Amino acid sequence: MLCLAAVTMDLYTFVTSTLCTLILPVLLVISAVKLWNLYCVSLRDWSCDAPLPPGTMGLPFFGETMQMLLYRKRFLQAKRRQYGSIYKTHLFGNPTVRVMGADNVRQILLGEHRLVSVQWPASVRTILGSQCLSNLHNAEHKEMKRVMMQAFSREALDTYVPVMEEEVRSAVKSWLENGSNVLMYPAIKRLMFRIAMRVLLGFETWEMENTLDQPMVDAFEEMIKNLFSLPIDIPFSGLYRGLRARNRIHAIIEQNIKEKLEKEPERSWKDALQLLIDHSKKNDKTVDLQALKESATELLFGGHGTTASAATSIVTFLAAHNEVLQKVRKELELNNLLSTKPEDQKDLTIEILQKLEYAGCVLKETLRLNPPVPGGFRVALKTFTLNGFQIPKGWNVLYSIADTHDVADIFPEKEQFNPDRFLTPFPQDASRFNYIPFGGGVRTCVGKEFAKILLKIFIVELCRNCDWELINGTPDIKTAPIVSPVDNLPTRFKPFNGAI
């Protein structure tokens, strides 16, 4: 009897242990999922008759953030195929509606301050800071944008062109002298960073040569990589690493700001940071050092990351489409810009660049197929309907630039790289929201003219000096946080011999 009792007790212990070890966690997971689903259902606005968009909300707390970060392109393509141009999801800790297509995007971009307001994910707001242009609202945004636009006026851009050309020409020369493989994406990022440092922040060449630029480039790489992270600031998390990189950048910029505060600029033109400093000193205001650091960081982020992405795409497309490259060179020849002797090459001006219509078409087509920034974030200020679905107050709205280009009916054979499509102007109403590489509405990119001029200079210097081939062929592309080649685009250069 004692043995039977012992066996029974052992069996009871085993069963209890098994239940606790296996079944209880399963029940907890099921309960968590049920509670999550109830929470997601409660997020809709029951005072609105329109249904929520189709879609799924993913895992408790995490939503579908991990799928988005790990499999962005495939994840988004699958969502679009399954749910169409408007669908719900849960990203970066918030319920989100993703939107694409000209008509839908028009309502979002023109609804600023009325239906929606800009609100990037918490990690982006934390890393870039609350006082940079991207995170300001209403009158503060309008005033800051007015000041920054002075740095991108026609007069200011005229003074930037020689600096841009000098830096691009020097970089192209170094690629030709290398004699072997060049990892183009890192090389172009360094080039665009140097230009942004000189033109937008007023750093001198000797300052960057004194080992300044590479630590800054590395810090920016780390910051950008962790911009879109879960909002968890603990050691070794993405947000933690992004903030540490941001602090290294701020330390260098702070020194530059203090030097500017102590002496008047010697050059005839004012860089964007100097304009912000002058504005902050107006009416004897106390200079807000933190706000200046955040604005300067944003200028560098916008001034080099997106242009580096676009320039790398230009190298890729022209390498794959020799007939387009020859048309660019033909246009350069017609404008007396094709000399392969550096001493005979005409210096560029805005007037000359404006004459290069086909080079402009190459740039437009590049930005259509590979817009550097895939989209933008907003938050619903009130519940409203979009294409028959409700967007509840407080939900994030993520509008897609890349997908809007993909579904635009005004572009036949959308997958083809064909700059000629832009030689005939589209009706303004038809193209306004079908083609939005720089966003739209009151949040249109303030530096878009700066970017266009810089990238045209890049096209000219590249095409009149180099022939090149992609060692790995056309690369796979990653789209977050900025469009870039997975393999860094190893490229072999040789001098252009002048024959077209």
Are 318 and 311 contacting, i.e. CB atoms less than 8 angstroms apart? no
Instruction: Specify which residues 484 forms β-bridges with.
Output: 478
The DSSP symbol for 110 reads T
Distance, in Å, from the CA atom of 39 to the CA atom of 61, rounded to the nearest integer, reads 11
The answer to whether 445 is annotated as binding is yes
DSSP H stretches of helix in 45-97: 65-70, 72-83
First to last CA, the chain: 102
Distance CA 476, CA 483 (A): 10
- Around Cβ 273, how many Cβ atoms within 10 Å? 23
353 Rama sector, left if φ>0, alpha if ψ -120 to 50, beta otherwise: alpha
Q: How far is CA 173 from CA 103, 147, 166, 322, 496, in A?
A: 46, 36, 11, 21, 12
DSSP state, residue 63: B
Contact call for residues 199 and 262 (beta carbons, < 8 A): no
Query: CA neighbours within 13 Å on the CB side: how many for 270?
Result: 16
Q: Contact at 8 Å (CB) between 434 and 403?
A: no
Query: What region does 458 belong to: left with phi over 0, alpha with psi -120 to 50, or beta?
Result: alpha
Residues paired with 112 in a beta bridge: 116
Q: How far apart are CA 121 and CA 231, in angstroms?
A: 8
Among 170, 202, 175, 177, smallest CA distance to 186 is for 175
- Residue whose pair of structure tokens reads 């707390």 in the numeric block: 61
Among positive and negative, which fits the CA dihedral 266, 272, 278, 281? negative
Partner residues linked to 86 by β-bridges? 99
Q: How far apart are CA 72 and CA 66, in angstroms?
A: 9
Helix (H, G, I), strand (E, B) or coil at 379: strand
Give the side-chain half-sphere CA count within 13 A for 466: 27
Rounding to the nearest 10 degrees, give the CA dihedral for residues 175, 180, 186, 190. -30
Please state, in angstroms and rounded to a whole number, the distance separating the CA atoms of residues 198 and 160. 9
Distance CA 475, CA 267 (A): 42
Q: Which residues are annotated as a binding site for heme?
A: 445
Residues at the annotated binding site?
Answer: 445
